[in-house]
Amino acid sequence: MIENNATNLLFSAFQKKIEEEQEVREVIRNLCKEVDKFSREITAVLQVMHHSEEGISPACLKARRLLDKVNEGYAKLKEVVPATDYYKYQEHWRFMTQKYCYLISLIIWLEKGILASHETVAEVLGISTLEQTTGFHLDLDDYLVGLLCLCSELARLAVNSVTRDDYEKPLRISKFVMDLNSGFRLLNIKNDHLRKRYDALRYDVRKIEEVVYDLSIRGLLPKPDAENALEMPDAMTES
């Protein structure tokens, strides 16, 4: 009888622990739902880049304002998630964070034509880039997935730019994506999801190469003088 009571007490403690974790998960789930809705708004705002060059700057400005709200949402997440339990609850915000890594990188490319660094993306979200011992942070794999998503969107932009008679942007996109592709080749990727996204990069590269090749055989590439003006900034990455 004594042993039975001890067992009941033990499992009652387990049940209390489970209920507490469920409460934390529910709070996190609701917060992520609130934060994630801004990604859809930002995505919709940025679609103007496929139709109008003049609309890109105002779209980026509006997207930046929405990112301020995203920053506030991540601040709330940081308060809720226990410092030592980042990976325990990560599935709730992983894909959302990957989307924001992609969107922030896209905005910075549209604004400056350069690669947003890991630190820059984390700063926009208001979180750290340090290891899990520091608590809530921007996981490197999530950042890299965001960059691969960026390449897919830029491949689409290269095609749509040509339909708007913009023959310079595909060249900028080509150089940028080729540089990124060279960088990814240096990595020994073991994360399965990241590996699948990386495997898709070669199709993005091929699509961009086809656009540039088509412009070349049609004689639509910019003159040599214009090509010199298209050179990327000395530093590809924003620090």
Q: Exposed (0-12), middle (13-18) or buried (19+): which is 160, by Cβ within 10 Å? A: middle
Q: Is residue 137 within 8 Å of 128, Cβ to Cβ?
A: yes
* pLDDT tens digit at each of 239 positions of the chain: 556 777 777 777 777 778 878 888 999 999 999 999 999 999 999 999 999 999 999 999 999 999 999 999 999 999 999 888 898 999 999 999 999 999 999 999 999 999 999 999 999 999 998 765 668 999 999 999 999 999 999 999 999 999 999 999 999 999 999 999 999 999 988 888 899 999 999 999 999 999 999 999 988 887 665 444 444 444 455 54
- Report the chain's terminal Cα–Cα distance, integer Å: 66
Q: Report the run of H or E that residue 59 belongs to, with start and end.
A: helix 56-80
**153 appears as a binding residue in the annotation:** yes
Which CATH number fits the domain that encloses residue 105? 1.20.58.2140
Task: Report long-range pairs for 37-40 (Cβ below 8 Å, ≥24 apart).
Answer: 38/66, 38/67, 38/69, 38/70, 38/73, 39/70, 39/96, 39/99, 39/100, 39/103
> How many domains is the chain built from?
1
pTM for the full model?
0.87
Q: What residues make up the domain containing 68?
A: 2-238
Q: For residue range 204-217, what is the model confidence (pLDDT) as tens digits?
A: 999 999 999 999 99
Cα(162)–Cα(172) distance, rounded to whole angstroms?
Answer: 13
